[in-house]
């Protein structure tokens, strides 16, 4: 069991990180307030606590990473979260992004394909007060029994738009998905809006680097 401590030093470092994100062009104050609230150091292995509030990704085991704060801020801003929205996240990982969404008032459903990460994060989330329901499964399948979702966020590099996830998105719903560059070099951030007639409008928001979105589940 992990001790969840959030002291003045942590809070001070977090405030500095938020100021830096604002200086770097994140303008949505609701997103910044959520990032200011969620204790990111709790989601990292203890040896990384010193670095929790610098703008870097970190290993969370099993070859996976917690997204860097600027990426979390960018993806969360693109989602335009409203209080009470149902949000599906693909790639629970450390649980940090899910908690930022929950801190904005979203009801978060998050899928992870790696059993050990799923179990570890489920335990951690049990000690925090965020509204996040976690699932072990393949994100390409989504969660048909909980559909439809107002928002869907994918936090791994996707080779294509998963059709079942589009089916599970409400009309006027938004999906934010880092799509693999054909060159194999990183991802471009894509925002898809599902129009009332079912067609998708697509906008692009620059380059990012994510671990790959893989199929099936894994036990390592």
Active-site residues, by number, are 67
| Binding test (CB under 6 A) with ligand SAH, winner from 86, 113, 122, 151 | 113
Q: Select from 100, 87, 131, 94 the least CA-distant residue to 112.
A: 94
139 lies in the site for ligand SAH, by CB under 6 A = yes
85 or 117: CB nearest ligand SAH = 117
135 lies in the site for ligand SAH, by CB under 6 A = no
71 lies in the site for ligand SAH, by CB under 6 A = no
Q: Which two tokens stand for residue 193?
A: 């809006």
| Binding test (CB under 6 A) with ligand SAH, winner from 79, 103, 132, 156 | 156
Contact criterion met (CB below 8 Å) for 190 and 178: yes
User: Count of CB atoms within 10 A of residue 76's CB?
Assistant: 26
Q: Which stretch binds ligand SAH (CB under 6 A): 6-14, 167-175, 185-193, 212-220?
A: 212-220
| Binding test (CB under 6 A) with ligand SAH, winner from 39, 91, 142, 178 | 91
CA of 136: how far to CAs of 74, 89, 159, 168, in Å?
A: 26, 12, 21, 18
Q: Which two tokens stand for residue 214?
A: 């893989």
Pairing of strands 187-194, 169-180: antiparallel
87 lies in the site for ligand SAH, by CB under 6 A = no
Q: Which stretch binds ligand SAH (CB under 6 A): 123-131, 142-150, 163-171, 206-214?
A: 206-214
Q: Least Å distance between CB 216 and ligand SAH? A: 8
Q: Is 37 exposed, middle or buried (0-12, 13-18, 19+ CB in 10 A)?
A: middle
Q: Select from 121, 101, 123 the least CA-distant residue to 112.
A: 121
Q: Select from 99, 154, 148, 104 the least CA-distant residue to 125.
A: 99
**Distance in angstroms (rounded) separating the CA atoms of residues 119 and 147:** 24
Q: How many chain residues are in contact with ligand SAH, going by CB under 6 A?
A: 24
Contact criterion met (CB below 8 Å) for 208 and 71: yes
| Binding test (CB under 6 A) with ligand SAH, winner from 28, 39, 58, 67 | 67
213 lies in the site for ligand SAH, by CB under 6 A = yes
| Binding test (CB under 6 A) with ligand SAH, winner from 77, 97, 168, 187 | 97
Q: Which stretch binds ligand SAH (CB under 6 A): 4-12, 48-56, 64-72, 169-177?
A: 64-72
Q: Which residues form the interface with ligand SAH (CB under 6 A)?
A: 64-67, 90-91, 93-94, 96-97, 111-114, 117, 138-140, 155-156, 211, 213-215
């Amino acid at each position: 069991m992990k001790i969840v401590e959030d002291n003045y030093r942590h809070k001070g470092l977090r405030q500095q990180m938020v100021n830096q994100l604002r200086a770097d062009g994140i303008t949505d104050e609701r997103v910044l307030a959520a990032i200011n609230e969620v204790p990111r150091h709790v989601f990292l292995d203890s040896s990384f606590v010193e670095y929790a509030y610098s703008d870097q990704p970190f290993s969370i085991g099993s070859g996976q990473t917690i997204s860097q704060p600027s990426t979390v801020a960018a993806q969360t801003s693109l989602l335009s979260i409203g209080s009470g929205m149902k949000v599906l996240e693909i790639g629970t990982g450390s649980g940090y992004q899910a908690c930022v969404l929950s801190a904005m008032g979203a009801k978060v459903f998050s899928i992870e394909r790696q059993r050990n990460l799923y179990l570890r994060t489920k335990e951690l989330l049990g000690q925090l007060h965020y509204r996040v329901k976690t699932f072990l499964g393949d994100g390409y399948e989504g969660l048909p029994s909980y559909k439809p979702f107002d928002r869907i966020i994918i936090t791994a590099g996707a080779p294509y738009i998963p059709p079942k996830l589009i089916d599970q998105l409400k009309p006027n719903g938004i999906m934010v998905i880092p799509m693999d560059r054909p060159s194999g070099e990183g991802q471009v951030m894509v925002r898809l809006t599902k129009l009332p007639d079912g067609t998708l409008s697509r906008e692009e928001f620059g380059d990012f680097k994510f671990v790959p979105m893989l199929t099936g589940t894994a036990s390592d």
